Amino acid sequence: MSGRQIGIIDYGMGNLGSVSNACRFLNLPATIVGSPDELDACDALILPGVGAFGDCMAHLREHGLVQPILDWIAADKPFLGICLGLQVLFEGSEESPGVEGMGVLPGVVRRFRLPHDYKVPQIGWSRVRQALPECPLFEKLPDETHFYFVHSYYADAATADYAAGVTTYGLEYASAIWRRRLMAVQFHPEKSQKYGLQMLANFARWLEQGSPV
């Protein structure tokens, strides 16, 4: 893979090691970036995330990254959010009442309230139904592929027109989103073995091909 540079955003929390190692394994042109100025050298961004919604937004603000990310998305540049990197795209989360998300997508991220036979957090492998199989992330991936999840909150947007992937865990929720050049997944592709690596490779290939809408 040549040319176009992928920036993995470092804002003081998140599984940078796993994501960067996966990119290195795939020989993708990826580098860790931690300041707004460093974004200028990138052609695509990956926002990984683990931990609490409020802490994530606080760290992004402390690093001066919220507005540059919003500007990036508004300019329709390629972007991939992972796990918490999907959730912060919404207006807020029940995890951190009163904390504003980036508001790129409408709605609030909800906490799982499920029967007792469902464990929360959801940890382990679950299927992703391809609601939008034409999404570039799904290239060469069979429908209902299992990916690895670790989360207690979900995007209550299973019927939204940008819900590219839907997962059922006591209820249906959006586990992958796609709107023009904005993509995000609730699961961890970097921890999802060959299919997760294929998804990251798809993102890079989509970028290399000019990331058509």
Q: Classify 130 as helix, strand or coil.
A: strand
Cβ-contact 155, 141 below 8 angstroms: no
Edge to edge, what strands does the sheet with 163-168 contain? 30-33, 6-9, 44-47, 79-82, 182-185, 172-179, 163-168, 122-130, 145-151
- Point out the catalytic residue in the list 42, 95, 151, 188: 188
Active site residue 188: yes
- Point out the catalytic residue in the list 23, 42, 56, 190: 190
**Element containing residue 164 per DSSP (H, E):** strand 163-168
Of 118, 122, 180, the C-alpha closest to 155 is 122
* Strand-pair category, 122-130 with 145-151: antiparallel
- Point out the catalytic residue in the list 56, 83, 135, 151: 83
What are the CA-CA distances from residue 179 to residues 64, 109, 163 (Å)?
A: 25, 18, 9
Active site residue 42: no
Catalytic residues: 83, 188, 190
